[in-house]
Amino acid sequence: MNEELIKRATLHDVASLSGVSYQTVSRVINQHPHVAPRTRQKVLQAISQLDYRPNQAAKVLATGRSDMLQLIMYDMRYGDPLPPMLGAARERGYTLLISEINPLAAKEEIHKALQDVANRMIDGLIVFTPYQFIPYEEMREVCRDIPFVFVDTDPGFKAPSVIFDQRHGVALAVEHLIGLGHRQIAEVHGPPLHSDARIRHESFLTALAAHGLEPGPIERGEFVISSGYNATQHLLASDKPFSAIFVGNDRMALGALRALREHGLRVPEDVSIVGYDDMAEAAYFMPPLTTVRQNLSTLAQQSIAYLVSMIQDRTMPIQQRVLYPELIVRASTGPLTA
Amino acid sequence: MNEELIKRATLHDVASLSGVSYQTVSRVINQHPHVAPRTRQKVLQAISQLDYRPNQAAKVLATGRSDMLQLIMYDMRYGDPLPPMLGAARERGYTLLISEINPLAAKEEIHKALQDVANRMIDGLIVFTPYQFIPYEEMREVCRDIPFVFVDTDPGFKAPSVIFDQRHGVALAVEHLIGLGHRQIAEVHGPPLHSDARIRHESFLTALAAHGLEPGPIERGEFVISSGYNATQHLLASDKPFSAIFVGNDRMALGALRALREHGLRVPEDVSIVGYDDMAEAAYFMPPLTTVRQNLSTLAQQSIAYLVSMIQDRTMPIQQRVLYPELIVRASTGPLTA
DNA sequence: ATTTTTATTGTGAGCAGTCACAACCTCATA
DNA sequence: TATGAGGTTGTGACTGCTCACAATAAAAAT
Residue B132 scores a pLDDT above 70: yes
DSSP string, B146-211: --EEEES--TT-SSSEEEE-HHHHHHHHHHHHHHTT---EEEEE--TTSHHHHHHHHHHHHHHHHT
Q: Which of B227, B233, B284 to mutate to test the interface with A (most CBs of A within 10 A)?
A: B284
pLDDT, tens digit (0-9, with 9 covering 90-100), for B34-81? 888 888 999 999 999 999 999 999 999 999 999 999 999 998 888 889
Give the pLDDT band (50/70/90) at residue B291.
very high
The nucleotide minimizing the C1' distance to residue B14's CA is: D16
Pick the CATH number of B166-294 from 3.20.20.140, 2.30.36.70, 3.40.50.2300, 1.10.645.10: 3.40.50.2300
Provide CATH code, domain B64-164+296-325. 3.40.50.2300
Domain ranges of chain A: 11-54, 63-164+296-325, 166-294
Considering only CB atoms, B261 lies closest to which of A86, A96, A286, namely A286
Residue B128 scores a pLDDT above 70: yes
Bridge partners (DSSP) of residue A163 are A322
A56 with B120: Cβ contact below 8 A: yes
Min distance A172 CA to chain B CA atoms (Å): 27
Cβ contacts of A120 on chain B, cutoff 8 Å: 56, 95
> pTM of the predicted model, to two decimals?
0.90
Higher pLDDT, B304 or A79: B304
Share of chain B above pLDDT 90, in %: 79
* Alpha-carbon span A295 to B199, nearest angstrom: 36
Name residues whose C-beta falls within 8 Å of residue A269's C-beta, 6 or more positions apart in sequence. A334, A337
Question: Does the domain made of A63-164+296-325 have the CATH classification 3.40.50.2300?
Answer: yes
Question: How far in angstroms lies nucleotide C15's C1' from the CA of residue A238?
Answer: 69
**Please, are residues A74 and A102 in contact by the beta-carbon 8 Å criterion?**
yes
* Alpha-carbon span B303 to A320, nearest angstrom: 41
Question: How far in angstroms lies nucleotide C10's C1' from the CA of residue A121?
Answer: 29
Q: How many CB pairs under 8 A join A and B?
A: 117
Name residues whose C-beta falls within 8 Å of residue A101's C-beta, 6 or more positions apart in sequence. A72, A73, A74, A110, A113, A114, A129
A119 with B66: Cβ contact below 8 A: no
**Protein CB footprint (7 Å) on chain C nucleotides:** 7-12, 14-20
Question: How much is the pLDDT for B197?
Answer: 97
Question: How far in angstroms lies nucleotide C23's C1' from the CA of residue A21?
Answer: 14
Question: Does the domain made of B11-54 have the CATH classification 1.10.260.40?
Answer: yes
Cβ contacts of A119 on chain B, cutoff 8 Å: 53-56
Question: How much is the pLDDT for B48?
Answer: 92
Query: What's the order of all strands across the beta sheet hosting B272-274?
Result: B218-220, B185-189, B244-247, B272-274
Least CA distance to A99: which residue of chain B? B97
3-state secondary structure of A202: helix
How many other CB atoms are there within 10 angstroms of residue B289's CB atom? 30
Min distance B20 CA to chain A CA atoms (Å): 24
pLDDT, tens digit (0-9, with 9 covering 90-100), for A248-268? 999 999 999 999 999 999 999
Question: How far in angstroms lies nucleotide C30's C1' from the CA of residue A35?
Answer: 29
Cα B74 to Cα A41, A53, B99, B133, B143: the distances in Å are 36, 25, 9, 11, 18
* Alpha-carbon span A71 to A67, nearest angstrom: 13
Question: How far in angstroms lies nucleotide C17's C1' from the CA of residue A30?
Answer: 12
Radius of gyration for chain B, computed over Cα atoms and rounded to the nearest angstrom: 26
Question: How much is the pLDDT for A190?
Answer: 97
**What DSSP character marks residue A105?**
S
Peptide bond into A268 cis (omega under 30): yes
A82 with B80: Cβ contact below 8 A: no
Low-confidence spans in chain A with pLDDT less than 50: 1-5
Q: What is the number of residues in chain A? A: 338
Question: How much is the pLDDT for A1?
Answer: 31
In sign, the C-alpha dihedral spanning B134, B140, B142, B147 is positive
Q: Which residues of A274-298 are buried (b: 16+ CB within 10 A; e: fewer)?
A: bbbbbbebbbbbbbbbbbbbbbbeb
Question: How much is the pLDDT for B190?
Answer: 97
**What DSSP character marks residue A267?**
T
* Alpha-carbon span B96 to A296, nearest angstrom: 24
Considering only CB atoms, B281 lies closest to which of A83, A119, A225, namely A225
Question: How much is the pLDDT for A5?
Answer: 44
Give the pLDDT band (50/70/90) at residue B3.
very low
B82 with A77: Cβ contact below 8 A: yes
Question: How much is the pLDDT for B284?
Answer: 96
A79 with B77: Cβ contact below 8 A: yes
